[in-house]
């Protein structure tokens, strides 16, 4: 028997997530799709699939009879809308998986720290840039102390909808905090680039880590490759574009650290191609978010099921 979930947000991210749950999940089913635009493609698709819908936001969700069978809710709206959605959903005892940069709950990057937050009732999926790059910073930091981590996420302009554009400030702030809190860097910085190239290019990410002193290059390469394999387990289009690069830095002043730095610059180059479930393959930035959210939801529900069987608190 599968567990019912609801999706708030009938835009690109919410619709892609709906399709992924239907096609890929053996443990979840979409009980409801919620939006605020009655004519949205996401709601229309949901209706054709026999899924309960409402265009009256989270209030419409709780009025649906199907809400009683929902155990987990995905929020694919915006950072500004999430606090209200979260308050309503959790007041009914449901788990919340937040795909906005609101970050009310702990940051979760599945291969890095999901196991530590399986008992949380609200988890935050950071950002698309965070899901792509924080695993790489964590891979470096688990074998060498990262003094500074910087990422540049370049995405196709066509794959950045109104919600993404409205949340760019939150994107950079949330991703930078996750570089530190989850990636393990002493300081972090995030930059997003909306690439207007035609035809659209797939998501490309550059990750730079500054490590004090000399490093064990083989250990870092092995750690990065192992982490990339873990991510590729749920994001098939996740690719290391070339070998990890190492450059000695004799001495440079790093404003973010407010001190001179001497050590090694580690550079990692990534490409993320989407699966094409609903969105074009170039929209890898959206695909990695929905893929990470699905992986997280399945594990959260599995944890709650296990707790129910054993009688231990979830």
Return binding residues for NAD(+).
10-13, 159-167, 285
CA dihedral 81, 102, 105, 139 (to 10 degrees): 150
Say if strands 146-156 and 70-75 run parallel, antiparallel, or are unpaired.
unpaired
Binding site membership: which residues? 10-13, 159-167, 285
Tally helices (H) and strands (E) across the chain.
10, 12
Cα 176 from Cα 136, distance rounded (Å): 14
- Cis upstream peptide for 199 (omega within 30°): yes
Q: Mark 194-211 as b/e (b = at least 16 C-beta within 10 Å).
A: ebeeeebbbbbbbbbbbb
Q: For residue 66, give both structure tokens.
A: 């199907």
- Percent helix, strand and coil across the chain, each to the nearest 5: 40, 30, 30
Q: Which of 128, 215, 283, 286 is catalytic?
A: 128
Active site residue 209: no
Q: For residue 146, give both structure tokens.
A: 């990262």
Rounded to 5 degrees, what are φ and ψ at 5? -130, 155
- Active site members: 128
């Amino acid at each position: 028997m599968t567990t019912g979930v609801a999706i708030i947000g009938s835009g690109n991210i919410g619709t892609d997530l709906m399709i992924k749950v239907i096609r890929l999940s053996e443990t979840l089913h979409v009980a409801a799709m919620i939006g605020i635009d009655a004519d949205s493609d996401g709601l229309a698709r949901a209706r054709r699939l026999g899924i309960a819908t409402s265009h009256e936001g989270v209030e419409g969700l709780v009025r649906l009879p199907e809400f009683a069978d929902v155990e987990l809710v995905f929020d694919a709206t915006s950072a500004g809308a999430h606090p209200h959605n979260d308050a309503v959903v959790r007041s009914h005892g449901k788990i919340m998986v937040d795909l906005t940069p609101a970050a009310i709950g702990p940051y979760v990057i599945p291969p890095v720290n999901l196991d530590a937050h399986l008992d949380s009732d609200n988890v935050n999926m950071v950002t698309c840039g965070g899901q792509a790059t924080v695993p790489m910073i964590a891979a470096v930091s688990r074998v060498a102390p990262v003094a500074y981590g910087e990422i540049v996420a370049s995405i196709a302009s066509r794959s950045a909808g109104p919600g993404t554009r409205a949340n760019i400030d939150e994107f950079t702030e949330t991703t930078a905090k996750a570089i530190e809190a989850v990636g393990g860097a002493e300081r972090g910085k995030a930059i997003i680039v909306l690439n207007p190239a035609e035809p659209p290019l797939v998501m490309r990410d550059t990750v730079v880590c500054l490590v004090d002193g000399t490093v064990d290059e083989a250990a870092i390469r092995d750690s990065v490759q192992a982490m990339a394999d873990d991510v590729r387990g749920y994001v098939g289009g996740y690719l290391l574009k070339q070998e990890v690069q190492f450059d000695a830095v004799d001495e440079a002043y790093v404003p973010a650290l407010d001190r001179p730095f001497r050590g090694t610059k580690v550079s990692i180059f990534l490409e993320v191609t989407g699966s094409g479930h609903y969105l074009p393959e170039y929209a890898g930035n959206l695909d990695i978010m929905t893929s990470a959210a699905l992986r997280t939801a399945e594990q959260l529900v599995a944890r709650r099921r296990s707790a129910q069987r054993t009688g231990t608190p979830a």
